[in-house]
Every structure is written in C-alpha cells, then in structure tokens.
Chains A and B, each alone.
Chain A
Amino acid sequence: MNCPLLEQTDLLLDYTAGRLDSATAALFERHMENCTHCAAFRTEQAVLWNALDAWEPEPVSLSFNRTLWQRIDAIAAEPWYRRLIDGFRFGAWKPALPLAAAVCVIAAGFVLDHANAPTTTNVAGASGVSITEVDQAEKALDDIQLLRQLDSASHPEAKNSKTM
C-alpha cells in the first residue's frame, strides 16, 4: 500500500526542491528512513532535478537592449493615430471601461423610463378615447348644466307651468 504522504504532492515537490522550512524537512527525513515509497520518490525526483539543472540556456545577445530601444524609439516616432490604435490594441481603453458601462446603463435606464411614461395624447383605457377628449366632454357637460341653471333662474314661470 502506498504512503498517504504521496498524495501530498506539493509537499513532496517542495521537499525535493529544498523549499521546505528546516523543521518540516527534518520530519520528512525521519519519515523517509522508514518509508520506502517516499524514499523512492525522493531519489527519482532528485535525479530528475539534477537532470533539469544541467540544461542551461544560452546567454542573451549583447544587442538585445539596443534592438529593443530602437523598436521603442520607432514606436515614439509613430504618428499619433497609430499610437492611438496601438493604445486601444494594448489595453489603454481598459480604464475607460467602467465609465463607458455606467454611461450605457444610464442611457438604457433613460430610454426604458421614457418608453413607458404616459404622453398627453395617451389612450385612456381600451375605448380609444384620449384623455384630452374626456376632459373636453366633461367641461362641455358642466357648461350645459350651468346654462340650464341660469335659464331656470331667469324664467321661473316656465318652470312652474311645466310642473303644473
């Protein structure tokens, strides 16, 4: 049966890489004296580590910095519109993103709010009669009522003959 410590891969890798603190490393050392599984892992990983250590990269060219600065100078000499395009390409627009999002949200809210708001020619109910027309009709009825009251007040005999 395998040692449960083999499941703790990060600890084992850190141990073989020499990245554990001395106290934990000492615990591992003691454990490996009695655990053949962990000891075998340590041996294989150590061999791999040494093999990888042997792979040294080539030195960086002496002209690296000079070439890079030439390219940077070329960027600086580019026309403003090219730099603007590059700025967008390389993320200069990112700080403006929250502001743009906020503007979009406000604009959308404004449009939705005004799309639902009633207008002066709104339809009242499903009858197809506008609010303006209803107001005008009510006013006309009030006027007729007032005229009748005035008429009856000025000709009381007519009213009495009718009642007789």
Chain B
Amino acid sequence: MRGENYKVVILGANGTMGGGAAAMFAGGGCHVTMLARDPAKAREGLIDAQSIAKAEALADNVTLGTYDHDMDRAVAEAALIFETLAEDLALKHEFLHRVDHHRRPDSIVATCSSGLSIADMARGRSESFRRNFLGIHLFNPPHMIAGTEVVPHDATDPAVTATVVEMLRKVFRRKVIIARDRPAFAGNRIGFKVLNEAAQLADEHGVAFIDYLVGPHTGRAMAPLATIDLVGWDVHKAIVDNIHARCEDDEAHACFKLPAYIEKGVQEGHLGDKTPERGGFYRRDGKAVEVLHPGTGRYEPFKAPARIDFVERMKSLNRVGRYGDAMAALAKASGWEADIARQVVIGYAGYALNRVGEVAESADDIDTIMSYGFNWAPPTVIIDLLGPNRAIGMLQRYNLKVPAVVEQAAANGDKLYKGGMLDYGRTFVG
C-alpha cells in the first residue's frame, strides 16, 4: 500500500486539486504520474506540488505525462487512479470511460469531486469499475486541511472503502470519515448552510458587521464571509444551488437560497480572492481594504463595526482558553445582535446533528469533518459547552429542529463530544 511500488495516476494535474493531491500521494511515498492535456500543463502541476511540499525532490516520486501519449499505459499500471478534473459530469464520464477500458481489474478509481453525485459518475461503467469506484473528497488546500471524506456509492465494495479509509489515515495522515453520496456530501452540506446564511444576513446587516458578529470567536478559523471569498463565489454558488435544487425537504432549505447580490456578482466576475481586482465581499488595494455593500454593489472603505460587549468578552475568554465561559457569555448576552449570533451558532450545531444518519453515520463523524475539514468547533462541543438543556432551549426559541442525539444527551446527562479540550481548543479563536 505504501512506497514506490504503489502507483497513483492523477488526472487533471494542473487543476485546483492536482498539485495538492500529488504532494499528498508522493509525500506518502507513492509513485505518482501526473497527467494533463500537454506537458507544460503537467509540469505546472508538478511545480505547484513542489511548492506545496517545499521540496524539489518531490519530483523523484513523480512522472509527468499527457492524456494523449501516456494515460492508457499509466492507468493500466496504476493501483489508484485519482481524477481531479473540472466539475463537469460529461468530461468526467469521458475520462472515466477511458479509465474503465484500460485499468487493472483490482485498481481503485477515485474522484475528487466536491459536488457531483458519485453514483452518477459510476453510471454506465463496468461492474468491476463500479465496485472499485468511490469519492475521495479533499478540502482545499489539502496540505493545510486534513479532513477528508470517502464517499462510496451503492455498488462500491465495502472492502474497497475500508482499504481507502485505512490508507488515507495511516499513510497520508488524513482525518477521514465515510460520507454519504448526498448533495455536497457531509462537510459542505453543513458548512455552506452556515456560510450562505451569513451571506443572507449580510444583505440586511452589512458584510463587516456579520463577519464581526459571527466571526472566529464563535468557533471557526475564519470569519464566514471571508471564507466565501477564499473558497470563491463561483464555487459557493455551485454548492448552494446544487443543495437548494436537490434537497427540497431540508428543514433549512431557505438557508441555501443564494442571495441575488451574489448571483449578480458572479455574473460580473466578482469571484472573491481569485479575482483580486474585482474582489468579493472584500477588495484589497495594497494595504487599503474595501468592503462590499450588498444593496448597491459598490465597495466602501472598510470600517471596523462598533464593538459589542459580548463579542469582545467571548474573544477575551477564548484567548485564555476558557471556551466554556465564552459559550456561556453568548448564551447570556442580551440584544438583537446576540439573537442573530445565537441563531447562527446553535443553528449550525442543530443542523449538523440533525444530519446524523443522512450525510454521515454518526455525530462523531460530523464532528471530525467540521473540525478538520472546516476548522470549525465540532457541533457536539457547542452542545456540551452550552449544556444540552440550554441548547434545546435555544433551538426551540429560534424554531429550530432539536436533534435526537441532543435530546438523548439531555435525558441521560451524557457528554456528546468524544475528545477533550486538547482536540477542540484550536477551533475557538481569541
């Protein structure tokens, strides 16, 4: 499973995830063949991978090639074929059809897709392919974010899933969960609910205010709207539109409605950090930071919002590691701002834990992917720090569905989180 005899082929070497995936596999000792449309593009992928690994010697474990000249032979020799092509189902089908034709019967084929259905991608393929096909969803950038979703479809051999999970954990040191083949899988389904809710709130309350109000002190490495800028507005739109269209029965369906100002911004090329001259929620010109006014579409000089006592109190408590006291400060705070913050925070924990059994097997899995895929506080930690009875009270106050696991915890007096402060402390920012 490990070492130069384990051969991996990456399709889409120069794509967003190509370099990161190559750095991960080659760094774990595999021999990686990076394939792209032409040699220059494949080399771009290698340079990206070397930059991520901070090692030119990564190239010792890498061979470059093109789809026209090298793909069929490389696929025939590979133990794992990992596609990181653009999120276009027709394109994926074209390549996977070719992989199906040339692959060894025992090789594993994985897609890095973050949005398309794994079952749809497997449709029309041979039985052997379907048995050995699954999703390995790495979060971007994979060398910074260890959270990984393995996504089997109905025909994936459970032994293949188990092998891939074991390999990702032991060889590549990933924090792995098995996610269900549902729209956006587990992490993005939960995370983008919160991100889009923040974007909706920004329409009414302003960008800087919302990022301040439900910022890193509420248990996330980065403020939500800054996160959407980092992810890219186009990617955000693709994910929430997909969930909005395909999860009509979701209790938070309205939270996935893309705000009109984002729709318009995407059309006009405002894609966040990847379009620095046009910006997203924020636009930087040297040291000057401008912030979007969602109502007018214009950018205004960034002005720090007026300080709110409970926000400052939470930051100060997180800074010294008193995370439970910080959550208690949120619970006790008064004023309409506190209601918004509480609704977002408890809404996140409640929504996440209501997905147990739908997007992942257990609350533990959901904790893992939110903690290591998003760098957000695990949902059960929020419930534990608030106390399940107070959490239930907050959920009911905001007319949010109470998860069964929270009701059980309240009834039994159980702690929900499996780890300790050493595991979750990093997710609360001061």
Q: Indicate whether A and B interact.
A: no
User: Interface of B with A (CB < 8 Å)?
Assistant: none
User: Interface of A with B (CB < 8 Å)?
Assistant: none
